[in-house]
Amino acid sequence: MTDRRRINGPPSGTRPAVFASSLKSASGAATERPRRHRQPNELRKIFLKTGLIPSASGSAYLEYEPSTSLAAARSSPQSLIPPSSALKLACTVHGPKPLPRSATFSPNLVLTTHVKYAPFAARQRKGHIRDASERDLGVHLETALRGVIVAERWPKSGLDITITILEAEDDRWWGDAPDSHDAPWGMMNVLAGCITAASAAIADARIDCLDLVAGGVAAIVSDDAAAEEGNSSTPKLMLDTDPAEHKSILSACVVAYMPARDEITEIWLKGDHSKASLGVDDSSLGHEALIDGAVNAARGAHTVLVEAVQESAERYAGLSISDS
């Protein structure tokens, strides 16, 4: 039945207007691709803040700093379409709370993770019902956090972790062909951000954990600049890659890493990372080097995570003193 108290939208989907670039030739559009100005082992700056949602037991907000090319495009735009996107997400933790009476007895804490894209988070609009990619991210996040939380401390209790992705990493540059990338590379950066933000929110909720867990991403990409000059393309190992900055991503890896215990709770490899498939005989480009690169990226994110948790502890200590 139609709701007559409001103006309903059209029954079919609508497509927003897309404005063409101001460049005259199609060949000049390739120059709009953002270029990586960071060193291969240099990470983007991360903003992480806890305690932003008072109604939740713990919360955190994470945001990656846009690349230099994106900042320059905003200051002197040649097109109304941004060259790449940043990563912005919010995490809330509710619990531990008692399980319903109808639930079966559980001697450990029951962990539930829910990852959902906002409708405007990606270039392709997301629906209200979670799709396969969002459920996949929830499974990976649950696996990463299950090895960190001391679950036997809360029997017959549940913990709900909800992550809302406000802006997601793109899988490719918007000017590439739709079938140029056959893998969702942006999901790996999203998963790494979800792991870091969830760890900060769990610490903000004062839930006992073995260690703080941070997410890191590393990828093997081809040297596009050399290929455009007519030279042979050489694969390179890059940390914290932005898929929009690279035309060809050969393989990628994301890990959930605990530095104090030197343990990996979750690992996700995508692509063909064997040296034979890369056409090189270099030990620095094998799967072990790819995992080590992701671990180094997680170490960098861990430093930001520690500072955010320390700010949360100081704020909690200040509230406790004022209440007393």
Q: What is the pLDDT of residue 151?
A: 92
Q: What is the pLDDT of residue 202?
A: 96
- For residue 19, count CB atoms less than 10 angstroms from its CB and return exposed for 0-12, middle for 13-18, buried for 19 or more: exposed
Cβ-Cβ contacts under 8 Å for 16 (sequence gap 6 or more): none
Name which residue leads in pLDDT, 49 or 125: 49
Domain ranges of the chain: 46-313
pLDDT tens across 48-75, in order? 999 999 999 999 999 998 765 555 555 5
CA dist 312 and 197 (Å) reads 13
Structure confidence at residue 172 as a pLDDT band (50, 70, 90): confident
pTM recorded for the entire structure: 0.83
For domain 46-313, the CATH class is alpha beta
Quick one: tokens of 159? 């913990």
pLDDT tens across 222-271, in order? 865 444 444 456 888 999 988 888 888 889 999 999 999 999 999 999 88
Q: What is the pLDDT of residue 171?
A: 76
Q: What is the mean predicted confidence (pLDDT) over 287-296? A: 92
Whether residue 93 is predicted with pLDDT greater than 90 in this model: the reply is: yes
Beta strands in the chain (DSSP E): 46-50, 58-64, 88-98, 110-117, 157-167, 214-222, 235-239, 249-258, 263-271
